[in-house]
Amino acid sequence: MSEVFLNGKFIGVVSDAKKLTDSFLEERRKGKIHYSINVLYEGALDQVNIESSRGRAIRPLVVVKDGKPMLTDKHIEQIEKGELIFSDLVKQGVIEYLDAMEEESALVAFFEGELTPEHTHMEILPLAIVGLCTSLVPFGNFNQSTRLNAGSKNQKQALGLYAANYLVRMDMDVNILHTPQLPIVKTIMHDSSEYEKHPSGQNVVLAILSFDGYNMEDAILLNKASIERGLARSTYYRPVISEELRYSGGLIDEISIPDKDVKGYKAEHDYRMLEADGIIHPEAVVAEGDVVIGKTSPPRFLSSLDEYNLTTSSRRESSMTLKHGEKGVVDFILLTENVEGNKLVQVRVRDQRIPEIGDKFTSRHGQKGVVGLIVDTPDMPYSASGIVPDIIFNPHGIPSRMTMSHLIELLGGKAGALSGRYIDGTSFESENHEDLRKELASLGFREDGTETFYNGRTGEMFKAQIYVGNMYYLKLKHMVANKVHARARGPIQLLTRQPTEGRAKEGGLRLGEMEKDTFVSHGATMVLKERFDSDKVAVPVCVKSGLIGYYDKRRDRLVSPIFGEGADMEYVEMSYAFKLLLDELKSLGIYPKLILKEKY
């Protein structure tokens, strides 16, 4: 007797488990049981598991009977004619979905050629063992799996054309690549995923060589002329959003040019680009700090006194400005209402991004890198035929990572570009690279893809032959323009008087606990003291009570909190954070008494 479990719960016993699973499969292939329900007989435990729960990853396979796939030429013919679609094949039991559990009972053939009577299933396509992004890596079967992972991960961050209607959309953080292209070296997935509708890279001429050390540690070099011709240009879109909020008491925000008597009024200069409705005009060139949407809000706390105060308006300034480090051109303005019926204004700012040092690029093989130098074209190495590469890639990135596909794509790209055709680089079923070599040779190039190169500065011939070819390169969304940050002086926090944190707030880089320890272990006392004096204050301390007093400006006197004016007071230098700690201790009811002593 075998036990039967449905979704892990015991539901009964059967005398013949084999019969149960066999008839189950038969019924499922007939379509009488839903295709997403899976079954497995576990011999060791003598139990039948049936799974119908949600969240199981299932994948389609061709059913094989007696060493023959159920999918016949007739089916394919019908599909080509449009008489059959994929779901019909599932209904007919030609293709079925297995989950991780049922896969245990399946023997899956990779190619049709290796089918034996023992096989129960066959891959629809060898490429189907990998996912969507991974199947976009050409010649992926020549790679280590970790590189494939890296390659497919990188592709997700590439700039391209994410949606054709981007001009009428208001998405946050959008990047559009200016002249995207289809890759010369394609895989079958580029066709089936309609990659031509949302391409995300460009075909470039790539040379593999070191250059002055500016492409050390995965950096790449860009040809200045290529950039000037528009290589890897993109536009960054970002909306500024503001709405007229309603507050209790019938008060409401107002989108308009703020009056000068509004609390927190900025300089007149900052509002210069606003039109009468308080919103900036399209195609205005804006930079950090410029007001994009002028807005005023009602006062935060309405005290009874203010209501009789007729002389000044107590409204607050709450305009939307461009944040620190942002710049661009006003692209599009949307005036609408939100769900609550409040006025909603969205202003989209665009910024052209020309590749610069520090921008991140990648090929499709996990060979990501950052631009190390934009080389003046006259300095670029050139080939015997006068070809100047767009990108110079460092050969040291190859041996340790073993991305063979990177090298094969370069060769394939070259052959494809020269003979004017797309190359099929689908993993496991790609064009033979030996044939590509022969094709290259027949086109009058060296079959190994190398060419003689000359030093652009001296005109000397390089002793080595340089591997050069065409390759699909992607610009990734991590651009320095969004990340550069430095600070010498800047804003401080109100509470601790220490520098603010983070790029958006123009903050400092924290010298933390462990970094502090390095100064201590070097015995560099004064360096440490100086580094940590960002919140240095000199406060008057009452010698008798040991408490911090204050300076009374009107009477030009120091005042002790206990002994009042005229008490013996001394200025003491300390970090403001420590003064804050003393205050917090006082709030706990602890009396922190400072005992003063002459230093010298």
Q: Is residue 308 involved in binding other proteins (CB under 8 A)? A: no
| Helices and strands counted in the chain (H then E) | 12, 34
Among 310, 339, 495, 588, binds other proteins (CB under 8 A): 588
Q: Is residue 128 involved in binding other proteins (CB under 8 A)? A: no
Contacts with other proteins, 28-47, as mask; x by CB under 8 A: --------------------
Closest to other proteins by CB, 129 vs 528, is: 528
Measured from the CB of residue 57, what is the shortest distance to other proteins in angstroms?
31
What is the helix (H) or strand (E) element at residue 150, kind and residue range?
A: helix 145-156
Closest to other proteins by CB, 72 vs 525, is: 525
C-alpha distances (whole Å) from 355 to each of 177, 206, 358, 365, 371 are 11, 16, 8, 21, 8
* Nearest partner of 177 among 244, 106, 236, judged by Cα: 236
Under 8 Å CB-to-CB from 306, ≥6 apart: which residues?
299, 314
Among 225, 344, 398, 574, binds other proteins (CB under 8 A): 574
Antiparallel, parallel or unpaired: β 536-542 and 550-552: unpaired
Measured from the CB of residue 536, what is the shortest distance to other proteins in angstroms?
6
Q: What is the DSSP letter of 263?
A: B
Q: Is residue 538 involved in binding other proteins (CB under 8 A)? A: no
Closest to other proteins by CB, 164 vs 495, is: 495
Measured from the CB of residue 276, what is the shortest distance to other proteins in angstroms?
53
Among 100, 524, 538, 562, binds other proteins (CB under 8 A): 524
Closest to other proteins by CB, 247 vs 591, is: 591
Q: Is residue 521 involved in binding other proteins (CB under 8 A)? A: yes
Return contacts of 415-420, CB within 8 angstroms, 24+ apart: 415/439, 415/440, 415/443, 416/184, 416/185, 416/470, 417/184, 417/203, 417/470, 418/443, 418/445, 419/443
Among 168, 194, 250, 600, binds other proteins (CB under 8 A): 600
Measured from the CB of residue 594, what is the shortest distance to other proteins in angstroms?
10
What is the helix (H) or strand (E) element at residue 522, kind and residue range?
A: helix 513-522
Segment interacting with other proteins, rule: CB under 8 A, options 80-88, 352-360, 557-565, 577-585: 577-585
Q: Is residue 583 involved in binding other proteins (CB under 8 A)? A: no
Measured from the CB of residue 570, what is the shortest distance to other proteins in angstroms?
15
* R_g (Cα) of the chain, nearest Å: 35
Structure tokens belonging to residue 550 = 């204050």
Under 8 Å CB-to-CB from 350, ≥6 apart: which residues?
235, 236, 237, 328, 329, 330, 331
Catalytic site includes residue 218:
yes
Query: With contact defined as beta carbons under 8 Å apart, do 297 and 315 qualify?
Result: yes
- Determine the 3-state secondary structure of 271 from DSSP: helix
Measured from the CB of residue 589, what is the shortest distance to other proteins in angstroms?
8
Among 306, 533, 565, 583, binds other proteins (CB under 8 A): 533
Among 523, 553, 554, 587, binds other proteins (CB under 8 A): 523
Question: E-assigned strands of 118-180?
Answer: 121-122, 174-177
Rounded CA-CA distance 224/376 in Å is 5
Query: With contact defined as beta carbons under 8 Å apart, do 541 and 572 qualify?
Result: yes
Measured from the CB of residue 523, what is the shortest distance to other proteins in angstroms?
2
Among 111, 247, 571, 591, binds other proteins (CB under 8 A): 591
Rounded CA-CA distance 424/422 in Å is 7
Measured from the CB of residue 220, what is the shortest distance to other proteins in angstroms?
31
Rounded CA-CA distance 343/334 in Å is 11
Closest to other proteins by CB, 419 vs 525, is: 525
Closest to other proteins by CB, 56 vs 586, is: 586
Under 8 Å CB-to-CB from 303, ≥6 apart: which residues?
none
Closest to other proteins by CB, 58 vs 537, is: 537
Applying CB under 8 A, the site for other proteins has a residue count of: 27
- Determine the 3-state secondary structure of 11 from DSSP: strand
- Determine the 3-state secondary structure of 9 from DSSP: strand
Q: Is residue 65 involved in binding other proteins (CB under 8 A)? A: no
Among 11, 107, 335, 520, binds other proteins (CB under 8 A): 520
Measured from the CB of residue 497, what is the shortest distance to other proteins in angstroms?
12
- What are the φ and ψ backbone dihedral angles of 531, each rounded to 5 degrees? -65, -30
Rounded CA-CA distance 203/185 in Å is 9
Active-site annotation holder among 22, 73, 212, 218: 218
Return contacts of 335-339, CB within 8 angstroms, 24+ apart: 335/279, 338/243
Among 442, 529, 565, 583, binds other proteins (CB under 8 A): 529
Closest to other proteins by CB, 45 vs 527, is: 527
Q: Is residue 512 involved in binding other proteins (CB under 8 A)? A: no
Measured from the CB of residue 574, what is the shortest distance to other proteins in angstroms?
5
Closest to other proteins by CB, 35 vs 532, is: 532
Q: Is residue 528 involved in binding other proteins (CB under 8 A)? A: yes
Rounded CA-CA distance 37/44 in Å is 22
Q: Is residue 587 involved in binding other proteins (CB under 8 A)? A: no
User: Can you tell me which residue has the tokens 């933390």?
Assistant: 512
Closest to other proteins by CB, 308 vs 600, is: 600
Under 8 Å CB-to-CB from 332, ≥6 apart: which residues?
167, 282, 347, 348
Q: Is residue 590 involved in binding other proteins (CB under 8 A)? A: yes
Segment interacting with other proteins, rule: CB under 8 A, options 91-99, 134-142, 274-282, 590-598: 590-598
Q: Is residue 575 involved in binding other proteins (CB under 8 A)? A: yes
Q: Which residues are catalytic?
A: 218
Footprint of other proteins (CB under 8 A): 516-517, 520-526, 528-529, 532-533, 535-536, 573-575, 577-578, 581, 585, 588, 590-591, 595, 600
